[in-house]
Amino acid sequence: MDITTLVVGMFATNCYLVSCSETGEAVVIDPGAEGKRIIENVEALQLKMKYIINTHGHIDHIGANGKLKEKYAVPLLLCEKDLELYNNPGFGLGLILRRQPRPDRFISDGDRITFGTITLHVFETPGHTAGGICLREELAVFCGDTLFAGSIGRTDLPGGSHGTLMESIKQNLLVLAPETEVYPGHGPSTTIGIESVTNPFVTSTML
């Protein structure tokens, strides 16, 4: 599995191009902005786009969906529990985003997304939003705004719940192997092992 990280937009969102090194088939996770730049990287890497995946419905993770959908006409995937948020994604801050293409398929716990020789396993991690998801492939997990290096996702926005988020992290992420690489929606990558012993939000819940 090859991973290319692009930091896009005013919110510095991590957009991931995840591809199969054998076939070149790929998905884009959270194309939050700068659709032209994302497409340029897809083309430069000669990737065969198979899916567009949103980990949740906030504006900074979906902003370039339209451009990528127009270019590649591949299925757009989202958890249905975030559909209302997806259709009104501006954080209540007056931010305006043109209407996004409707998701082609809703994904939820237990679903699998396969491209090339890679399978991403979907599991729901609500708390930052009602329909937040993570995607795991062996020793790598793409977790949107659920868990960050040294922090966690905000829970003060519509659909957020601190207690629910902490339970999601405890039940779905901390159970993974310590060496599992964590690819968050913002900021640097980390590992489950590092976060389990150094992240103050995580360690405080384990006391």
What is the spatial distance between Cα 17 and Cα 175, in angstroms, rounded to a whole number?
26
H/E element, 65 = helix 65-72
User: How many independent structural domains does the chain possess?
Assistant: 1
Secondary-structure breakdown of the chain: helix, strand, coil percentages, each rounded to the nearest 5: 25, 30, 45
What is the spatial distance between Cα 19 and Cα 118, in angstroms, rounded to a whole number?
8
With CA atoms as reference, report the closest residue to 133 among 160, 109, 157: 109
Range of the domain at 27: 2-206
What would the mean pLDDT of 161-187 be, rounded to a whole number?
A: 97
* Stated pTM of the model: 0.94
pLDDT (tens digit per residue) in 185-202: 999 999 999 999 999 999
Angle at 52 between CA 48 and CA 58, to 5 degrees: 155
* pLDDT value at residue 97: 63
* pLDDT value at residue 100: 82
Residue 66 has pLDDT above 70, yes or no: yes
What would the mean pLDDT of 33-48 be, rounded to a whole number?
A: 97
What would the mean pLDDT of 84-92 be, rounded to a whole number?
A: 77
* pLDDT value at residue 111: 98
With CA atoms as reference, report the closest residue to 54 among 162, 161, 132, 154: 132
Q: In this structure, what CATH number is given to the domain that contains residue 143?
A: 3.60.15.10
Place of tokens 């968050």: 184
What is the spatial distance between Cα 57 and Cα 88, in angstroms, rounded to a whole number?
8
